[in-house]
Amino acid sequence: MGSRDGEPSLGYLSRKETEVKLPRPTRVKNKTPAPIQITAEQILREARERQEAEIRPPKQKITDPTELADYRLRKRKEFESLISRVRWNKSVWVKYAKWEESQKDFKRARSVWERALEVDYRDHTMWLKYADVEMKNKFVNHARNVWDRAVTLLPRVDQLWYKYIHMEEMLGNVAGARQIFERWMAWMPDQQGWLSYIKFELRYNEVERARAIFERFVNCHPKVSAWIRFAKFEMKNGEIGRARGCYERAVDKLADDEEAEMLFVAFAEFEEKCKETERARCIYKFALDHIPKGRAEDLYRKFVAFEKQYGDREGIEDAIVGKRRFQYEDEVRKNPRNYDTWFDYIRLEESVGNKDRIREVYERAIANVPPAEEKRYWQRYIYLWINYALYEELDAQDMERTRDVYRECLKLIPHQKFSFAKIWLLAAQFEIRQLRLKEARLLLGEAIGRAPKDKIFKKYIEIELHFGNIDRCRKLYEKYLEWSPENCYAWSKFAELERSLYETERARAIFELAIDQPALDMPELLWKAYIDFEISEGEFERTRALYERLLNRTKHLKVWISFAKFEALAMDSEVEEDIELKKNCLQRARDVFERAVSYFRNSAPELKEERAMLLEEWLNMESSFGELGDVNLVRAKLPKKLKKRRQIDMEDGPAAYEEYIDYLFPEETQTTNLKILEAAYKWKKQRVASEED
């Protein structure tokens, strides 16, 4: 299908023909400003001036009334035709009305404005332009009519009220402007409207009227900023009593408001200006007690500055404490389970000494229970309870509250999963200090039944031993060993208790039971304690038998050395005067060393270092015996120290070597020499045979 004017349509053109090559953007190389700057308005004006004559619109000169009537008729037809097509376009109505105004036909212009308002009367700009036209042409009553209708239909558009009032004030109609303000205030506008009314009255020195408007203003907008403006108004007029009354009424009504901090700061600064420093201090303190700490940052800063300027040392310290208190409140609000912050906060309150506040902070702190029942989360938290109980006992000296704190803490801890022996012991010790031994025993018994721990058993036994209750101590040791039969410490202490009571057989029986246990946590300490016990009792044969039993279980180097030393010192001080007995002791010690050397040579040849250490101890013992000792006996068995290198296994990289000390014993040297001689003899025999061949 072809296009108009006989031109072919684009459908018959090829794709390449329809492609349009866009010009490439030119690069501006010189970016310095031109010496002569030309604005866009100048460019447009020159374009209009340089239009060709046939393109320019013709200039029409009207010299005849008939011709003027024809021009007006034609123009009105154009506007009416345009309005019939785009009735909703407000700019067309405005142009039409202004054209009629330019023709000085105000009735027709007014008619156009009225028709435009019928289209959309909610557009306040149309009312403003309509009224401006009436005022510009000094039709005051018509303008009043327009303004009156506008504010009646659109009472929430503040600009209409401002313009209306401004017109009346410019005309000197103060009473009329005041009447318009009253009509406006009946709609309860925002703060700026009320303040404009107050400024209007103050321009004419109507202070009482302004005060009455302020009263209505703070009732309509009961906000902190409104009351502060009211008080400053009274202060500006020299009415200090009235200003103070405004602040006091505001505090009564808005003490719990979110913006109360600003009110208290303004009130305190007002009293400070009036040289009433005590009043200002009371206001600051009242505000700090009633405003939440999270909203009192500026208040604390102002209070500290006030105290630094007017206060004494105590007042400054109180202000600084208050500021630190605010910081701690902010931190615990952000992270309530940061127990270190609670400790610092509590320490601050304890330095002040207000019991109620200290207890309040403690209660708030312990209310933040750890989220999970795992001991690592509770280890720091539990000290809050401990500090709370110690404070109630030592500082507040309220024993019932102390007992309640311990009781509530023990209820809170999940003893089935974990427990804290410290809490049980502190609670029991508190009851002992109160001379309530029965209650302390009940607490410790409950602790053993619900959450037995080594520390609880040890402390409970210590308490009963302090009071001399031996039977209770024995029962506790029995319970202790029933709960933990592998605990060598408990066995040793139980035997030590019986020995201190000269119950030798009981102690020996306990040691026998202990070493017969299938599993022990530190058996070497238990055996040592048993051996020391027998030595202290002078039972050398029993001790020797114990060493033999121990060697049946372990052949450790320390056991051999200890056994040999025992044999060397087995006799009492009379041995020093009896040479034969001393020789017997030395011979027994040598026998032990011989057995040890034989064991390490035959059964554990890889333990060369232990064998060398054993020989060193033997040599030292021989030296200590003086003339009776035979040092050469041991020196013949001492090894040679050889420094060697060995390869270290490395996962990546080149092989590495380390140095170590190896020991070469005499029998190993002889064996090596024999092997060398044997190899030499074999080599010589082979050589002789080859020569004969």
Q: What one-character-per-residue DSSP string does 96-123 give?
A: HHHHHHHTT-HHHHHHHHHHHHHH-TT-
**Segment among 120-129, 292-301, 597-606 with least mean pLDDT:** 292-301
Which has more confidence, 19 or 208?
208
Tokens 């913006």 belong to 259
Q: How far is CA 590 from CA 563, 580, 629, in A?
A: 11, 15, 10
Tokens 């030595």 belong to 535
**Segment among 83-97, 387-401, 544-558 with least mean pLDDT:** 83-97
Give the residue ranges of DSSP H helices in 353-453. Answer: 355-366, 375-378, 382-390, 399-412, 421-433, 437-450
Angstrom distance (rounded) from CA 193 to CA 202: 14
Angstrom distance (rounded) from CA 47 to CA 181: 52
Confidence of residue 607 (pLDDT cuts 50, 70, 90): confident
Angstrom distance (rounded) from CA 164 to CA 180: 8
3-state secondary structure of 487: coil
Task: Calculate mean pLDDT across residues 403-407.
Answer: 94
**What per-residue confidence (pLDDT) applies to 379?**
92
Amino acid residing at 539: E
Residue-wise pLDDT for 329-345, tens only, equals 888 888 999 999 999 99
Confidence of residue 521 (pLDDT cuts 50, 70, 90): confident
Angstrom distance (rounded) from CA 503 to CA 437: 28
For residue 306, which of 270, 330, 351 has the smallest C-alpha distance? 270
CB hemisphere CA count around 161 (13 angstroms): 25
Report yes or no: 127 and 150 within 8 Å, Cβ to Cβ: yes
Angstrom distance (rounded) from CA 693 to CA 681: 19
3-state secondary structure of 574: helix
Here the tokens at position 495 are 């035997």
Query: What distance lies between CA 76 and its chain's CA centroid?
Result: 77
Angstrom distance (rounded) from CA 188 to CA 606: 105
Spatial CB neighbours of 690, under 8 Å, sequence gap ≥ 6: none
**What per-residue confidence (pLDDT) applies to 52?**
64
Spatial CB neighbours of 8, under 8 Å, sequence gap ≥ 6: 2
Angstrom distance (rounded) from CA 531 to CA 570: 12
**What per-residue confidence (pLDDT) applies to 11?**
37
3-state secondary structure of 641: strand
3-state secondary structure of 127: helix
Angstrom distance (rounded) from CA 346 to CA 121: 67
Give the residue ranges of DSSP H helices in 485-578. Answer: 488-500, 504-515, 523-536, 540-553, 557-568
What pTM was computed for the model? 0.57
Mean pLDDT estimate for the chain: 84
Tokens 């108004």 belong to 233
Distant-in-sequence contacts of 534-543, Cβ < 8 A, 24+ apart: 535/566, 537/504, 540/570, 543/570
**Segment among 192-196, 256-260, 592-596 with least mean pLDDT:** 256-260
**What per-residue confidence (pLDDT) applies to 315?**
63
Residue-wise pLDDT for 33-52, tens only, equals 778 888 888 888 887 777 76
Angstrom distance (rounded) from CA 84 to CA 647: 108
Here the tokens at position 279 are 């009043």
Spatial CB neighbours of 632, under 8 Å, sequence gap ≥ 6: none
Residue-wise pLDDT for 209-255, tens only, equals 999 999 999 999 999 999 999 999 999 988 999 999 999 999 988 88
Report yes or no: 187 and 168 within 8 Å, Cβ to Cβ: no
**φ, ψ of residue 119 in degrees (nearest 5):** -65, -50
**What per-residue confidence (pLDDT) applies to 651?**
65
Q: What percent of the chain has pLDDT over 90?
A: 37
Residue-wise pLDDT for 307-333, tens only, equals 777 766 666 666 677 777 777 888 888
Task: Calculate mean pLDDT across residues 651-673.
Answer: 70
Here the tokens at position 517 are 């246990």
**φ, ψ of residue 664 in degrees (nearest 5):** -120, 110
Residue 39's CB is within 10 A of a number of other CB atoms, namely 8
Spatial CB neighbours of 189, under 8 Å, sequence gap ≥ 6: 158, 161
Tokens 């010189």 belong to 30
